[in-house]
Amino acid sequence: MDHVLHLRCLVCGAEYRPDEIDYVCPKHGPSDGVLDVVYDYERISATRESVAASPEPGMWRYRPLLPVESDSAVPPLLVGDTPLYDAPRVAAELGLARVWVKDEGRQPTASLKDRASAMAVVKADERGLDVITTASTGNAAAALSGVCASTGRANVIFVPASAPPAKVAQLLAYGSRVFSVDGSYDDAFELCLQAAEAHGWYNRNTGMNPYMSEGKKTAAYEFAEQLGWTVPDAVFVGVGDGCIIGGLHKGFRDLLALGWIERVPRLYGVQAKGSRYLAEAWERGEDVLTKPPAPAETIADGIASGLPRDRLKAMAAVTETGGAFVTVDDGQILDAIPALARKTGVFGEPAAAAAYAGLLGAVEGRLVGADDRVAVLNTGNGLKNVAAARQAADRLGAAPTLIAPSLDALDRALAEKEGP
Ligand SMILES: Cc1ncc(COP(=O)(O)O)c(C=O)c1O
Ligand SMILES: [Zn+2]
């Protein structure tokens, strides 16, 4: 890993060798001391052509840009290579130059978190640790659980008791040891930290583990590669802990440093009104190192975070790119599920559809306009939370029509409502 210079504390700038430290800056501890992986870009000899031609599967074709050894084995599940769809009907309706939707619901466990969890399994292997643990609102857990199942590795999961049943079902099917914590995601996080330390488990937790945003940054690489090494003008993404948006920022910055792209897109972080820690800090110019935890109540479980663990990276992503934080209420999030699905065929869970709801708000607020080529990151599959999707349909009055199994009954029903 001689292309990795060091791990740098985002608070005090202290630098650590990767073999010296696994998680946070010891001077600041688990809540604040988030580390950034710093590269010596001169030592990266890969080119746009060489990554495109790499035989490595999915996200691992960017291995020369990732903080892993050149010979570390990677898990067999195919992570990455998710489709980027053009959405001309959305662009026309919103008056934007172009709209794309990148569908991370197509990942093996159906969310973007597979990118980070695959990275966690490789890093745990490099460290020679047998058990991996994480706290999660559900998707990071399902991702870790699935990737671990693919390599036969033990893992221990902490989710809030409110996690959607589909995500918990994934954990049980994959055979994880699952603890359903009687409390919030933030409570599950604290318990997981203590457990990791007490039992010597490898800790995948967002914010604690500096490599998670490094896995997620591969989504930015794919955006650029899929657009012929150009970038959108603006990218919209749902934000809870801030690891995804921080990862996107890192990915685009890597490519800029390597000279593979010419600029970094504006990054727009979309938060729920009921879990708006980062949006509030950004609007008020508050210091996220001193701002106390805020409420985290939203139907979009993936973006419910009272103390966003990657808040430093998330704030930098928005401020340094000239983007913004926008907030949407739960009604707007629910309505965005069928709105996106009907115009693109992409079915997102609430935390994912929030990004689309944020785009709609940003168009109204003129944060984006006719000159902008905009991308929306659909971070998780709609099947992750079927109850929310049905609630969204109910709000539209959309329901199946119950009929007797006969053509007569069908024709009567069709006659009542014009067209199929
Ligand atoms: C579907 C989905 N979208 C967005 C997010 C937010 O990601 P982050 O917590 O890194 O901001 C999550 C996190 O769980 C998620 O599951
Ligand atoms: Zn520090």
Rounding to the nearest 10 degrees, give the CA dihedral for residues 121, 124, 129, 132.
-50
Pocket test for ligand 1, best of 144, 241, 299, 347 (most atoms within 8 A of CB): 241
Distance 25 CA to ligand 2 centre (A): 5
DSSP, res 411: H
Q: Which long-range contacts (CB under 8 A, 24 or more apart) does 394-401 make?
A: 395/331, 395/334, 395/335, 396/335, 396/338, 398/338
266 half-sphere exposure, CB direction, 13 A CA radius: 17
What is the mean predicted confidence (pLDDT) over 131-141?
95
- 73-115 confidence digits (pLDDT tens): 999 999 999 999 999 999 999 999 999 999 999 999 999 999 9
Query: Could you tell me the CA-to-CA distances from 406 to 399, 401, 411, 413 in Å, in that order?
Result: 19, 13, 9, 11
Query: 203 - beta bridge partners?
Result: 133
Query: What's the first-to-final CA gap in the chain, in angstroms?
Result: 59
Distance 32 CA to ligand 2 centre (A): 8
What is the mean predicted confidence (pLDDT) over 370-384?
98
pLDDT of residue 1: 85
| Burial (Cβ within 10 Å: 0-12, 13-18, ≥19) of residue 98 | middle
User: If pLDDT is split at 50, 70 and 90, which confidence band does 30 have?
Assistant: confident
Distance 185 CA to ligand 2 centre (A): 25
Question: Given the CA of residue 241, which atom of ligand 1 is nearest to it?
Answer: 9
Contact 190, 203 (CB under 8 A): no
User: If pLDDT is split at 50, 70 and 90, which confidence band does 417 have?
Assistant: confident
- 224-281 confidence digits (pLDDT tens): 999 999 999 999 999 999 999 999 999 999 999 999 999 999 999 999 999 999 999 9
Q: Pick the ligand that lies closest to the CA of residue 304.
A: 1
pLDDT of residue 337: 98
Instruction: Provide the percentage of residues in the chain whose pLDDT is more than 90.
Output: 96
Mean pLDDT of the chain: 96
Which three-class secondary structure state does DSSP give residue 38? Answer: strand
pLDDT of residue 154: 97
pLDDT of residue 71: 96
Q: Whose CA is nearest to atom 1 of ligand 1?
A: 380
Q: Pick the ligand that lies closest to the CA of residue 383.
A: 1
Instruction: Provide the percentage of residues in the chain whose pLDDT is more than 70.
Output: 99
Residue with tokens 């998680």, as numbered in its chain: 23
Ligand 1 contacts (CB < 6 A) are 111, 137, 139-140, 206, 238-244, 302-303, 349, 351-352, 379-380
